[in-house]
Structures are given as structure tokens and as C-alpha cells.
Amino acid sequence: MTELAPDEPKFEQVAAILRARIASGEYPPRTRVPSELKLVAEFGINSRTAAKALQALVEAGLTRRVRGMGSFVVPAEGDGAPEQG
Amino acid sequence: MTELAPDEPKFEQVAAILRARIASGEYPPRTRVPSELKLVAEFGINSRTAAKALQALVEAGLTRRVRGMGSFVVPAEGDGAPEQG
DNA sequence: GGAAATTTGTTCGTATGTATA
DNA sequence: TTATACATACGAACAAATTTC
């Protein structure tokens, strides 16, 4: 279980970690990032806090969330297939 | 207490009502819109739901929220004094 | 078509912290 | 200090969409 520093909101810290993983290629375009429950297990946070972290990625334009499916990394512009939605 | 229809999320309905009031001039630019607690009292919703409605206005670019002060209607562009923030 | 599991969406309730007046 | 108001976080329940069996 990853430890989080107390000096910054948890949801922002988790979002920052996920952003770094996306940037590093750990979560390539069109693949899924961890679900709320996975983040709960990994970081020891509440599911609502996990949801807020995932929502922050959406607002940053990095992912899309699809009910019943998960959060998916948004492909960079001009990479081939047209985007849905 | 205003009644809300059950076929649309409450936070969206409340946000829509507030948007209409802003558009009508009931909440002029630079004035405050109702606080979370006021919305709780007016619509009979939970404070977290009220917060979500107010946040929706921010994301629509209609208001700004200031901790300890409230939610303020953002002036239309090119109306005079420069905006803060 | 149904059942179950997974995942996100909405709502409620509560507590605590931070900022302003 | 007190009151007001937003921010963060936890816990819980249920709804809705998707996938898999």
C-alpha cells in the first residue's frame, strides 16, 4: 500500500501519480487505468476519494470514464483512428 | 421548498435553475449566488449535492467559488474592470 | 434471456480543516 | 470568538451500464 504525504490533498496526490504513469507509458493510450476499487486497495483511500482522483484526470483531458467499463487513457491528437464521443 | 423531478440528477436540476437565474439577471455579475446551506434549505437536498450543483456552475464558467465567501457570478467579458484570479 | 461481477454515477450523512468576515 | 462558507475525506446505499458466464 502506497503511503501518501499529508501536506497535499489525497485525491490530488493520487491523480498526480496516475498522470505520471500515463506520461511514462505505463498506461498507454486507449487502455484502462485502475478502477476506483483498485485505487482504494493500492492507496488505502476511500472510494469517493478515488473517484475524485479519476475525475481529475478527466478534467485534465487525460482520460474518459465509461460507466460499467472503466477509465480509459485518451489518445493524443492526430494519432490515427477518430475518437468516439 | 422547491420540488425536483426524479428523472434527472438533482445536482443538474439545481444547477439549471441557478443558471436560469443568472441569465435572467436575478443574480447579477459579481454578486453571490446562494450558498450550499441555502440550497439545502431551498431544495431539500444534501449539502454534498448542493456543492456539486455549485461546482457545475464553476465548470460552466458562470461562477467562481471562494472559500469563506461564497460563489460569485463571473462578469461577462469586456464589461469594464479586469477580473481577479 | 438471465445471473453475477465489475465499474462508474448519484445521493445521503457526518466529520474535520481552512478561509473570510 | 463566533458565524458563515467552501474543501477534503470517510462511510454507506443504491442505480445504471458493461462484460462475462
The dihedral through the CA atoms of A48, A51, A55, A56 has a sign that is positive
Q: What is the pTM of this model?
A: 0.85
Q: Tell me what pLDDT residue B76 has.
A: 77
Q: Please, what is the Cα angle at B24 between B21 and B27, to 5 degrees?
A: 55
- The three three-digit cell numbers of residue A63, written as one number: 482520460
Residue with CA nearest to C7's C1' atom:
A68
Domains and CATH numbers, chain A: 10-73 (1.10.10.10)
B37 touches strand D (CB under 7 A): yes
Query: Cell 444547477 appears where?
Result: B15
User: What separation in angstroms does the CA of B62 have from each of A80, B56, B57, B67?
Assistant: 35, 9, 5, 17
Check pLDDT > 60 for residue B85.
no
CA distance linking residue B26 with residue B22, whole number of Å? 6
Per-residue confidence band for B31, with pLDDT thresholds at 50, 70 and 90: very high
Cβ of residue A75 lies below 7 Å from strand C: no
Q: What is the pLDDT of residues A1-20, one digit of tens each?
A: 565 656 789 999 999 999 99
Query: What pLDDT sits at residue A16?
Result: 95
